[in-house]
Amino acid sequence: MRRINPFRTLQGKFTFYLSILIVVTMSVLAYWNISREKRLLQDAIVREGKALVESLAISCSNTMLYEEIGLIEEGGLLDNYISDLMQRRDLNIIYVMILDPKGKVIAHNSMVEVGNLYQDEITKRVLASWNTLLQHPTDNVLDISTPLAISTKRWGTFRIGISLESLRKEVSSLVLKYILYTGFFILLATAIIAFLFGFITKPLKLLTKEMDETKPGEDPPSLSVTGQDEIGILRRSYYRLLQRIREDEEERERSQRSLLLTEKMVAIGKLTAGMAHEINNPLGGLLNCIYHFKKGVQSIDKRLEYLDLMEDGIKRIQRVVTNLLEYARNPNLERSATDFGSLIEKTLSLLDYQIRKGRIAIEKEIPENLPSVEMDRDQMGQVLVNIFLNALQAMQEGGTLKVKAEVVGEQIRMAISDTGKGIPEDILPKVFDPFFTTKGEEKGTGLGLWLSQGTVERHGGTIQINSDGKEGTTVNINLPLYSKLEEEFHGG
């Protein structure tokens, strides 16, 4: 059985489209869920960071107020707040600083930054804002700042930087999980589909194998052996189709044989006049010889001459009758090695009377070494008779019949041309239609060319008719030198 591309099978297509559906669905779900999780995590960081900054800002503002009015001495209290804040593990804090109103660092988790003056755009926005401000210096850093002020009195700004690397890692982890989930669901769906389709495709594959192995004319199995499901219905329909095809083929063959016999009888009727003339002439000579024998006055030499004439006449009658009997044989296709050139010569001799009566000149281009052809000698003879008769009837006032045969490759090509009135262009496409004739009912059935085409095609050949519609018609016949079995033998 021929191998099928798995992506062209129903199972392959179903798996492919379901995989696409799973990928699209999981992508939408992943995008929605990851965006939601990212937003929730980011909101949690922002909420916790703001609460931390704003709570510490109160302590830092009070400390700076108390230092200003002298309640406590200036010292490391702010540094202690920053140090405690950097010890926390719930938030990934990367920096903590306190700036004065001009952007100078008063306190910092890194002592080397103390005393530096920040004048970047983020710091400018921080110093200008009287509310808690959220900014992103980089994609992975969240900067939260709030003013250190009481009423309109502002001592500076409290800022912290929180790393968002953990958020990014969490999002990457979610993406990886969804990729793994998607792959798992695709594999699971493929396995389930393969399992389920096994129940469906197995009987289909068996039916396909059975179809491939069914030989022409073979009786289908009993309809009762099939199941009651859809596959069983399909199998029964296939068996019924085989039965109908076989019945139609048998009916077609019967009709074909009947039509071949009918056309043969019509052709024989056309040949009868010529046969009668061919037989009557030697019969007249025989009667004349018998008449002279009865008179009994001939010499020995004369009697021998009459006997030779009578023998020639009888042989001529025998040859004519033999040709007619060979032409009227059974139309079943029986291939055998046939001398095609000899078949052409015998067919022309069969029509010798019509050729002479119609004043037709014969021009032949037939090589002497023309090879034998695998064909049914009788049926191809009938094809040639039909075509020759059509050509002769087209030349009512005489003309030339050209017969050419040659071997081209693995084929033998034959061209039969006449100098008759030709076939009009509007009629030419119809000449092979059954029962189509331009001769009238008394001269033709319209089956000759149709049956001839069928015979040639059954031999694996082709037949074509060419005419310019004004003068002359050419019939081209191409036949393989060997039948299919012979080709396999020669090819092997």
Residue found by looking up tokens 């059985």 in the block: 1
Q: Which two tokens stand for residue 9?
A: 């099978």
Region of 208 (left: φ > 0; alpha: ψ -120 to 50; beta: rest) is alpha
- Token reading at 234: 């399909």
Note the pLDDT of residue 483: 64
Secondary structure (3-state) at 440: coil
pTM, two decimals, is 0.42
Predicted local confidence at residue 1, as pLDDT:
43
Quick: pLDDT tens for 65-86. 777 776 666 556 777 878 888 8
- In the chain, the amino acid numbered 199 is F
The confidence score (pLDDT) of residue 320 equals 66
In the chain, the domains with their CATH numbers are: 6-171 (3.30.450.20), 335-492 (3.30.565.10)
**Model pLDDT, residue 490:** 43
Cα gap 229→208, rounded to integer Å = 17
* CB-based contact 97:79 (threshold 8 Å): no
Distances (CA, A) of 363 to 86, 325, 401, 418, 466: 117, 27, 6, 10, 19
Q: Minimal CA–CA distance to 210: which of 234, 229, 245? A: 234
| Res 361: pLDDT | 93
Question: Which CB contacts under 8 angstroms, 24+ apart, belong to 151-154?
Answer: 154/101, 154/130
Q: What are phi and psi of 373, to 5 degrees?
A: -120, 140
Take residue 456 and report the two structure tokens written for it: 């040639």
Is the Cβ–Cβ distance between 98 and 148 less than 8 Å? yes
pLDDT number for residue 412 = 92
399-408 and 360-365 strand pairing:
parallel
CA–CA distance, 260 with 257 (Å, rounded to integer): 5
Alpha carbons 163 and 186: distance in angstroms, whole number: 37
Q: Note the pLDDT of residue 225.
A: 53
The pLDDT, as a whole number, for residue 321 is 72
CB crowding 439-461: b at 16 or more within 10 Å, else e: eeeeebbbbbbbbbbbbbeebbb
* 88-143 confidence digits (pLDDT tens): 777 788 889 988 888 888 888 888 888 889 888 888 898 888 898 999 888 888 89
Per-residue CA distances from 306 to 61, 287, 291, 313 (Å): 159, 11, 11, 10
Lookup result for tokens 């992508």: 27
Predicted pLDDT of residue 415? 94
Measured CA to CA, the distance from residue 36 to residue 24 in angstroms comes to 18
Residues facing 422 on adjacent strands: none
Chunked into runs of 10 residues, the chain (492 residues) has average pLDDT values of 58 76 82 82 84 84 77 70 80 87 87 87 88 87 88 86 84 83 81 74 73 66 59 76 81 77 65 64 75 74 78 75 59 78 87 86 89 86 87 88 91 92 84 70 62 84 87 91 54 44
**Helix (H/G/I), strand (E/B), else coil: 158:** strand
Pairwise CA distance, residues 12 & 16, whole Å: 6
220: nearest Cα among 204, 235, 236, 242: 242
